[in-house]
Amino acid sequence: MGIATFVGDRPHSWDFPLFLHVLGAMTLVGGVVLTLFFLVGAWRGNADAIRLALRSIGLAVLPGYIVMRGAAEWIYSKEGWDKVDPSPNWLGIGYGVADFGILLIGIAALVAWLARRQGGTGIAVRIAALVIGFVLVMDVVAIWAMTTKPV
Amino acid sequence: MYHFLLFVHVLTAFCMAATIVIYSAFALGAPATDRTTFIAERLWDVGGLGTLVFGVWLSIYVDGIEIWNAWVIIALVLWFVAFGLQRQAYVAMNASGSPTGTTLLTPDRAGLSRFNALRALVFVLLLADMIFKPWA
């Protein structure tokens, strides 16, 4: 069931990379929520909110992603998953969400940046907001996969 | 059942973290309306209640974890400290009174920065306690 891992059978050497992984993920998800806030604000007519959305991607989403992704590699190696073939599904979901998610965040940032250059709050902002909203849904799926660990 | 409890417990912790990130943006000067503050506050309420209820539930449900374990007691103390700091951050956030609609709030930024930074620190300690489980 995985309870033993939760209770404390996990070697202490895994704790710090796991801590960094979760802390990075929380910063990332918080940044995604904040970015969505600002993009919805831009969608509703506040053009200056696009600048804040781009800033929240730069100051919260990207640093959180780097810490989360780097620590994921660290704990992946420590737990010995690189020697397991095939990898379990929950790992695949995690990697998929992380790698596809950062691509979508990059696309949303590019679209928002272009919208800002045009000074508008039109369709481009809506696309960026929808993409970031989708990333947030993916993040919830990743949290589900990381905690429930489906085979 | 265990996995469901753990999932909701962790998901609600992410809600608390999101509130801290949002408040950090406000503390750094991002404009805040009463609507965005309201949503951030509700995320904190849902997160706080969820982590507490499902965390205590887990401690009862899972063999090997007891509510009187040192790391669980530390977590409960930190949780209450975080909620006290949230109250202070909320007061600083709404220092201008209670505007309606999309009126911009004019928070006490010094107070907001101080209490939100302290809350973030306590939250990180809470996360560390959950993972390192001292004296487990």
Return mean pLDDT, chain A. Answer: 87
Q: Shortest Cα distance from A19 to chain B (angstroms)?
A: 6
Is the bond preceding residue A86 a cis peptide, omega within 30 degrees? yes
- Write the pLDDT tens digit of every residue in B71-126: 999 999 999 999 899 888 888 887 766 555 556 777 777 888 889 899 999 999 99
- A3 and B13 within 8 Å at the Cβ level: the answer is no
Q: Which pLDDT does position A117 carry in this prediction? A: 83
CB of A67 within 8 Å of a chain B CB? The answer is: no
| B7, B21, B131 ranked by CB distance to A15: nearest | B131
User: How far, in Å, CA of B116 to CA of B82, rounded?
Assistant: 9
Taking contacts as CB-CB distances below 8 angstroms, the residues of chain A near B136 are 7-8
Taking contacts as CB-CB distances below 8 angstroms, the residues of chain B near A26 are 13-14, 17-18, 127
| B36, B63, B132 ranked by CB distance to A37: nearest | B36
Q: Residue B9: pLDDT above 90?
A: yes
> Is residue A138 a contact partner of residue A111, using CB atoms and an 8 Å limit?
no
Buried b (16+ CB within 10 A) or exposed e, B24-58: bbbbeebbbbbebbeebbebbeebbebbbebbeeb
Of A147, A107, A99, A61, nearest in space to B18 by CA = A61
Judge if ipTM > 0.85.
Answer: yes
Q: Which pLDDT does position A88 carry in this prediction? A: 84
Q: Which pLDDT does position A63 carry in this prediction? A: 96
Q: Which pLDDT does position A55 carry in this prediction? A: 93
Q: Residue A56: pLDDT above 70?
A: yes
Higher-confidence residue of A120 and A115: namely: A115
> Is residue A14 a contact partner of residue A75, using CB atoms and an 8 Å limit?
yes
> Looking at chain B from residue 83 to 122, which residues have their Cβ under 8 Å from any Cβ of chain A?
none
CB of A8 within 8 Å of a chain B CB? The answer is: yes
- What share of chain A in percent tops pLDDT 70? 92
Instruction: Look at A55-69, B31-45, B89-103 and tell me which has the smallest mean pLDDT.
Output: B89-103
B55: CB partners within 8 A, 6+ apart: B9, B72, B75
C-alpha separations of A70 from A125, A129, B94 in Å: 30, 27, 38
> Looking at chain B from residue 17 to 76, which residues have their Cβ under 8 Å from any Cβ of chain A?
17-22, 24-25, 30-31, 36, 39, 43, 62-65
B68: CB partners within 8 A, 6+ apart: none
